[in-house]
Amino acid sequence: GNSVTQMEGPVTLSEEAFLTINCTYTATGYPSLFWYVQYPGEGLQLLLKATKADDKGSNKGFEATYRKETTSFHLEKGSVQVSDSAVYFCALRDTGANSKLTFGKGITLSVRP
Protein backbone atom coordinates (compact mmCIF):
# COMPACT_ATOMS: atom_id res chain seq x y z
CA GLY A 1 0.00 0.00 0.00
CA ASN A 2 0.91 3.65 -0.08
CA SER A 3 3.16 5.05 2.61
CA VAL A 4 5.04 8.20 3.52
CA THR A 5 8.25 8.27 5.53
CA GLN A 6 9.51 11.39 7.23
CA MET A 7 12.83 11.96 8.93
CA GLU A 8 12.90 11.56 12.67
CA GLY A 9 12.48 14.63 14.81
CA PRO A 10 12.22 16.91 16.59
CA VAL A 11 14.26 19.56 14.84
CA THR A 12 15.50 22.67 16.64
CA LEU A 13 17.06 25.53 14.68
CA SER A 14 18.13 29.07 15.30
CA GLU A 15 16.33 31.87 13.52
CA GLU A 16 17.56 32.44 9.94
CA ALA A 17 18.99 28.93 9.68
CA PHE A 18 18.42 26.76 6.60
CA LEU A 19 15.77 24.07 6.92
CA THR A 20 15.46 20.72 5.19
CA ILE A 21 12.85 18.16 6.20
CA ASN A 22 13.10 14.89 4.32
CA CYS A 23 10.12 13.00 2.97
CA THR A 24 10.05 9.88 0.82
CA TYR A 25 7.06 7.93 -0.37
CA THR A 26 5.95 4.59 -1.71
CA ALA A 27 3.04 4.55 -4.12
CA THR A 28 1.81 2.97 -7.29
CA GLY A 29 1.15 5.26 -10.18
CA TYR A 30 1.64 9.01 -9.95
CA PRO A 31 0.37 10.42 -6.68
CA SER A 32 0.02 14.07 -5.80
CA LEU A 33 2.25 15.19 -2.91
CA PHE A 34 1.55 17.66 -0.13
CA TRP A 35 3.05 19.33 2.88
CA TYR A 36 0.64 20.24 5.65
CA VAL A 37 1.50 22.32 8.70
CA GLN A 38 -0.08 22.36 12.13
CA TYR A 39 0.64 25.43 14.24
CA PRO A 40 0.17 25.18 18.00
CA GLY A 41 -3.52 25.06 18.88
CA GLU A 42 -4.67 25.09 15.25
CA GLY A 43 -5.88 22.59 12.69
CA LEU A 44 -3.91 21.15 9.81
CA GLN A 45 -3.53 23.47 6.87
CA LEU A 46 -2.05 23.01 3.45
CA LEU A 47 1.40 24.52 3.07
CA LEU A 48 2.20 23.51 -0.51
CA LYS A 49 1.59 20.79 -3.07
CA ALA A 50 2.87 19.28 -6.32
CA THR A 51 0.83 17.15 -8.65
CA LYS A 52 3.37 15.71 -11.08
CA ALA A 53 7.04 14.87 -11.39
CA ASP A 54 9.45 17.83 -11.36
CA ASP A 55 6.74 20.21 -10.14
CA LYS A 56 7.88 22.59 -7.42
CA GLY A 57 5.41 23.68 -4.79
CA SER A 58 6.12 26.88 -2.89
CA ASN A 59 4.47 29.02 -0.23
CA LYS A 60 5.61 31.34 2.58
CA GLY A 61 9.26 30.86 1.59
CA PHE A 62 8.99 27.06 1.74
CA GLU A 63 9.67 24.93 -1.34
CA ALA A 64 9.50 21.25 -2.23
CA THR A 65 10.18 19.52 -5.55
CA TYR A 66 8.45 16.31 -6.63
CA ARG A 67 11.30 13.92 -7.49
CA LYS A 68 9.94 10.75 -9.03
CA GLU A 69 13.37 9.20 -9.56
CA THR A 70 14.11 9.32 -5.83
CA THR A 71 10.44 9.17 -4.70
CA SER A 72 11.05 12.22 -2.54
CA PHE A 73 9.41 15.54 -1.69
CA HIS A 74 11.81 17.25 0.70
CA LEU A 75 10.73 20.53 2.27
CA GLU A 76 13.21 23.42 2.35
CA LYS A 77 13.34 26.99 3.55
CA GLY A 78 16.32 29.26 3.26
CA SER A 79 15.81 31.25 6.46
CA VAL A 80 13.42 30.06 9.15
CA GLN A 81 11.59 32.33 11.56
CA VAL A 82 10.30 31.75 15.07
CA SER A 83 6.79 31.81 13.62
CA ASP A 84 7.63 28.69 11.56
CA SER A 85 7.63 26.61 14.75
CA ALA A 86 5.01 23.94 14.09
CA VAL A 87 4.49 20.30 13.18
CA TYR A 88 5.02 19.48 9.50
CA PHE A 89 3.37 16.53 7.76
CA CYS A 90 4.18 15.11 4.35
CA ALA A 91 1.28 13.42 2.59
CA LEU A 92 0.34 11.79 -0.69
CA ARG A 93 -2.94 11.46 -2.49
CA ASP A 94 -3.79 8.27 -4.26
CA THR A 95 -4.35 8.24 -7.96
CA GLY A 96 -7.70 6.89 -9.02
CA ALA A 97 -11.16 7.54 -7.68
CA ASN A 98 -10.33 7.51 -3.99
CA SER A 99 -9.01 10.87 -2.93
CA LYS A 100 -7.91 10.17 0.63
CA LEU A 101 -4.55 11.41 1.85
CA THR A 102 -1.91 9.20 3.43
CA PHE A 103 0.24 11.07 5.96
CA GLY A 104 3.69 10.66 7.40
CA LYS A 105 4.26 10.78 11.14
CA GLY A 106 5.06 14.46 11.18
CA ILE A 107 8.05 16.31 12.52
CA THR A 108 8.13 19.06 15.11
CA LEU A 109 10.17 22.13 14.24
CA SER A 110 11.20 24.58 16.94
CA VAL A 111 12.93 27.80 15.95
CA ARG A 112 14.85 29.71 18.61
CA PRO A 113 15.22 33.49 18.47
Partner 1 sequence: DTGVSQDPRHKITKRGQNVTFRCDPISEHNRLYWYRQTLGQGPEFLTYFQNEAQLEKSRLLSDRFSAERPKGSFSTLEIQRTEQGDSAMYLCASSPLPGPTSNTGELFFGEGSRLTVL
Q: Does 20 bind partner 1 (CB under 8 A)?
A: no
In angstroms, the CA 31 to CA 103 distance is 13
Q: Does 74 bind partner 1 (CB under 8 A)?
A: no
CB of 105 to partner 1, least distance (A): 5
Can you tell me whether residue 10 is helix, strand or coil?
coil
Sequential DSSP letters for 52-95: STT-EEEETTEEEE-BTTTTB--EEESS--GGG-EEEEEEEE-S
In angstroms, the CA 97 to CA 14 distance is 43
Residues 21-40 that bind partner 1 (CB under 8 A): 32, 34, 36
Work out which of 75, 106, 109, 111 binds partner 1, going by CB under 8 A. 106
Q: Does 89 bind partner 1 (CB under 8 A)?
A: yes
Closer CB to partner 1, residue 17 or residue 110? 110
Q: Which residues bind partner 1 (CB under 8 A)?
A: 4, 32, 34, 36, 42-46, 49, 51, 89, 91, 93, 98-106
